[in-house]
Structure 1
Amino acid sequence: MNVSVVLFTSDLRLHDHPPLRAALDGSRTVVPLFVRDRAVDRAGFAAPNRLAFLADCLRDLDAGLRERGGRLVYRSGDLVDEVCKVVTETDADEVHMAGGVSAHAHRREERLRAALEGDGRRLHVHDEVVTALAPGAVTPASSDHFAVFTPYFRHWDRHHQRQVLGVPRVVRVPEDIGSERLPTRGELSGLSAGLATGGEREGRKLLTAWLRSGIHAYVDGHDDLAGDATSRLSPHLHFGTVSAVEVAHRARKAGGPGADAFVRQLAWRDFHHQVLAARPAASRKDLRTRNDLWRSPDAAAQEIEDWKEGRTGYPVVDAAMRQLRHEGWMHNRGRLLTASFLAKTLYVDWRVGAEHFLSLLVDGDIANNQLNWQWVAGTGTDSRPNRVLNPVVQGKRYDPEGAYVRRWVPELEGLGGAAVHEPWKLKGPERAAYDYPEPIVDLSEALARFKHARGRD
């Protein structure tokens, strides 16, 4: 009996799944396997919100496999050891998996390949499973990756993308292969109260609804904080419950300016993956150093804590940080302005912010989280590394009526219109009526400090 193992990682779906389809070629028996890699726990990346979403995804994947005659095999421990155990137990001769871009993913693939080949087995790593385009599919003439988004997008947009693969009708799994019990979100604590539900069914339902009624307004509404006119697909793209290839194809088929703008955001996601694939150290080190002498975490401890808790005295910053804590997700415009506030207004190392985001974000992705933080901090690919986002200006521009602020900062719900963005301007008893902190930093002084630090004064 020919047996293949399909190792699921960040691709927890049955639709458009190249590793699974390749393993099923020739009517092979397959072992759909997920390993809860303890190395992820040791590295501190096993955040409760992502573990809860993951549990939803695994149970949904198992249900989908059972509908097709199969099931998901779940193991925990060292990934290479557990895969090799399953290979030995089933006498499988090959393993299929999606390619990754992080340093951990590269090491994992190298270790697994060496272990399998040493025992006469083969590892097949498939591209364009996690991203719409493989990290090395388009490169400039003089480098191994694009360091600027616009030329990357021109090549990305013209490049042929593979066709979407159908879902398999039948998946045959060896009957005697054992599995640990699948986790549930009910076993976890410390979850965000408004955390979304995971799983392929939920992701596909969300995608269909977005393409039907949301995408056409995206070009005008994607920065509207209160309107929340975004797809909310980022957690599903992170866990691979929807395929980036399929999303791109279906968005292009929908057509129009909104779809074009949305597809461009998919390209941004691929852009960051190809940067990290070429420069794995960018998850920890400045991609382009500005020789910053960041304020130490001890010196800025109280301000960092105020930022995390949404008590900075700048309402739109606080609203976004409270949304993050409640939902495990934050509007993209909110991510930009809260990151700018920490890294440039408070002049705190971007890694402090990136770590906090990863502790809560259900879509917390090393490539996109770290490189977006670097972009905002000016140490990454931004062509204007010294730009500083003013939270008052940003609030008035992207939340002009103050609805987003009042939604997440109820202390200020009595303040109407744009006045909610500057509560410190109230005087006497009127100001005292609002239990909300004064700004923790003066914006003009903070700007001067940043310019001096970057040698721009």
Structure 2
Amino acid sequence: MLFTRDLRVRDNPALAAACRARRVVPLFVFDDALLARSPNRARFLVDALADLRATLRGLGGGLLLRHGDPAEEAVRAAREAGAEKIFLAGDVSRYAARRLARLERLAAGERVGVETHPGVTVVPPGAVTPAGGDHYRVFSPYWKAWSAAPWRSPAPAPRRLQPVDLSDGAALEAIAERFAAGASPEPPEGGETAGRRRLRAWLRDGLAHYGDDDLAADRTSRLGPYLRFGCVSPLEVAAAARRDDGEPFARQLAWRDFFYQATAAFPGLGHTDYRPRRAPWHDDADALAAWREGRTGFPIVDAGMRRLLREGRMHNRARMITASFLTRNLLIDWRAGLAHFDALLVDGDLPNDAGNWQWVAGTGHDTRPNRVLNPLRQAARFDPDGAYVRACIPELAGVAAPLVHRPWELPAERRRGYPAPILDVRDGKVVSPAP
């Protein structure tokens, strides 16, 4: 059983299928190409694997850890164990497709079968398609088809496993020390145990209030990292939301599936415009650096970017505001924003992140590609008393609304039609409102 982005034992179809055999060897392979992309995700991954290993040991088995090329290590482990087949979850990224193709080629040389199973999404990519097309390009008809599609039954968790008697080639502590150094100071705890605890709390206390985009209240599920690493089953989350009248939240899970089916059909979504753009992007290294560091001069933008730096997470509304500011106001290529998010987000997930960035930038699936989110109006609507800005930007902690949302420290050439700064900021602190 080759774990990839399905780090759980509950409703794991690939694991359930593998466990029909007399003996199963659970395996995870660390790949430097993925570990090096984000210290925050590396930290979460180590937590998740430690939790998965403890769970599997509690079932009598264990988790074999290797470091290197996943296809090579999986085939090597299969050969050492005398395995006849390798099971894993199907995925849609270009990386996942290359990994599967290499795995199948190497396994065939050893006369070992390879079998993929669903589990990364609620509705598998390709399960619903429009008449005359390979995938849905607009969300509304996809949502209708997704809602009407039959869902698979949750897979049973294993009751008992055989001990793993193969030698590890990787240590969690060494991986954490090498790749998680520099992680954000306030990351979430990884793993199926923490994910299911978060899910229970969300269903009990948060689902009924979902849909309120008040940034300070932050009534989001915070399940993103657990879905990204498969610590919780997206099918079980969606089914629970449906049971509890949580259609707005189920709709967001459908958006997640939507971008997965789009990526399966258009693998270049992470680096190629889905919808061609004619106008050139603006090259401004200083503006890009200011955006990354949360010092654009627009408090609502800077607040979101600083929270991202501190916690490796960001409210979905803040993601839209900051992405719109970069692509619509600074006119900087969405790929630069995607790269920054990918380096920091604990729940960084290429199909979702690329799909949403292109949606905001006007190169993706938005049916209104010229849509612009005015940061001042967004601030007034979703942070009316300024609590979110004050919590994220210490320099503005003592500034009252609506003054707190006005541009500050913004060079004239970057205002692009917005009001001049009206806060006098010296040495990182607000001295007084400027005249």
Say whether the fold is shared (TM-score over 0.5): yes
Q: Cα distance 1:216–1:445, how it changes in 2: closer, same or farther (>3 A)? A: closer
Give secondary structure in 1 for the equivalent of 2:363. coil
Q: Cα distance 1:389–1:443, how it changes in 2: closer, same or farther (>3 A)? A: farther
Deviations 1:385-437 (A, max 9, x none): 1111111110000000000000001111121122210155xxxxxxxxxxx55
Show the counterpart of 1:276: 263
Question: Counterpart amino acid of 2:68?
Answer: G
Q: Of 54, 57, 61, which residue of structure 2 is paired with 1:66?
A: 57
Mapped pair 1:36 → 2:27: no
Show the counterpart of 1:124: 115
Tell me, in whole angstroms, the C-alpha distance in 1 between the residues paired with 2:411 and 2:259: 37
Equivalent positions of 1:308-457 (< 5 A) are: 308-422=292-406, 441-444=414-417
Post-superposition shift, 1:178? 3.8
Deviations 1:354-405 (A, max 9, x none): 0000010011101011111000000000011111111111000000000000
Q: Of 268, 272, 279, which residue of structure 2 is paired with 1:292?
A: 279
Post-superposition shift, 1:185? 4.0
Tell me, in whole angstroms, the C-alpha distance in 1 between the residues paired with 2:314 and 2:282: 26
Tell me, in whole angstroms, the C-alpha distance in 1 between the residues paired with 2:407 and 2:6: 46
Show the counterpart of 1:453: none
Show the counterpart of 2:146: 156
Larger deviation: 413-422 or 136-145?
413-422
Deviations 1:69-99 (A, max 9, x none): 0111000111111111101111100000001
8 Å CA contact retained: 2:14, 2:88? yes
Task: Report the number of matched residues.
Answer: 417
Tell me, in whole angstroms, the C-alpha distance in 2 between the residues paired with 1:291 and 1:423: 30
Show the counterpart of 1:431: none
Give secondary structure in 2 for the equivalent of 1:252. helix
- The runs of 5 or more residues in structure 1 that have no matched partner are 1-5, 425-435, 447-457
Show the counterpart of 1:452: none
**Superposition CA RMSD, Å:** 1.6
Post-superposition shift, 1:166? 2.9
Tell me, in whole angstroms, the C-alpha distance in 1 between the residues paired with 2:144 and 2:297: 41
8 Å CA contact retained: 2:7, 2:192? yes
8 Å CA contact retained: 1:90, 1:174? no
Tell me, in whole angstroms, the C-alpha distance in 2 between the residues paired with 1:51 and 1:211: 28
TM-score w.r.t. the length of structure 2 is 0.93
8 Å CA contact retained: 1:313, 1:439? no
Question: Counterpart amino acid of 1:275?
Answer: A
Post-superposition shift, 1:203? 0.2
TM-score w.r.t. the length of structure 1 is 0.88
Tell me, in whole angstroms, the C-alpha distance in 2 between the residues paired with 1:201 and 1:175: 25
Show the counterpart of 2:92: 101
Tell me, in whole angstroms, the C-alpha distance in 1 between the residues paired with 2:55 and 2:115: 24
Give secondary structure in 1 for the equivalent of 2:26. strand
Give the share of equivalent positions with the same residue, in percent: 47
Q: Cα distance 1:443–1:393, how it changes in 2: closer, same or farther (>3 A)? A: farther
Give secondary structure in 1 for the equivalent of 2:87. strand
8 Å CA contact retained: 1:53, 1:185? no
Give secondary structure in 2 for the equivalent of 1:75. strand
Q: Of 8, 13, 16, which residue of structure 2 is paired with 1:18?
A: 13
Tell me, in whole angstroms, the C-alpha distance in 1 between the residues paired with 2:168 and 2:53: 14
Deviations 1:128-152 (A, max 9, x none): x110110000000121000000000
Tell me, in whole angstroms, the C-alpha distance in 2 between the residues paired with 1:61 and 1:99: 19
Mapped pair 1:192 → 2:175: no
Equivalent positions of 1:74-85 (< 5 A) are: 74-85=65-76
Deviations 1:213-239 (A, max 9, x none): 1000113x2x11000000000000000
Tell me, in whole angstroms, the C-alpha distance in 2 between the residues paired with 1:195 and 1:204: 17
- The runs of 5 or more residues in structure 2 that have no matched partner are 420-435
Q: Cα distance 1:387–1:167, how it changes in 2: closer, same or farther (>3 A)? A: same
Tell me, in whole angstroms, the C-alpha distance in 1 between the residues paired with 2:85 and 2:395: 59
Post-superposition shift, 1:13? 0.5
Question: Counterpart amino acid of 2:74?
Answer: V
Q: Cα distance 1:191–1:245, how it changes in 2: closer, same or farther (>3 A)? A: same
Q: Of 254, 262, 266, which residue of structure 1 is paired with 2:249?
A: 262
Larger deviation: 352-361 or 184-193?
184-193
Larger deviation: 161-170 or 336-345?
161-170
Question: Counterpart amino acid of 1:30?
Answer: V
Post-superposition shift, 1:278? 0.5
Give secondary structure in 2 for the equivalent of 1:124. strand
Post-superposition shift, 1:164? 1.5
Question: Counterpart amino acid of 1:291?
Answer: R
Post-superposition shift, 1:442? 1.9
Give secondary structure in 2 for the equivalent of 1:161. coil
Tell me, in whole angstroms, the C-alpha distance in 1 between the residues paired with 2:345 and 2:388: 19
Give secondary structure in 2 for the equivalent of 1:367. helix
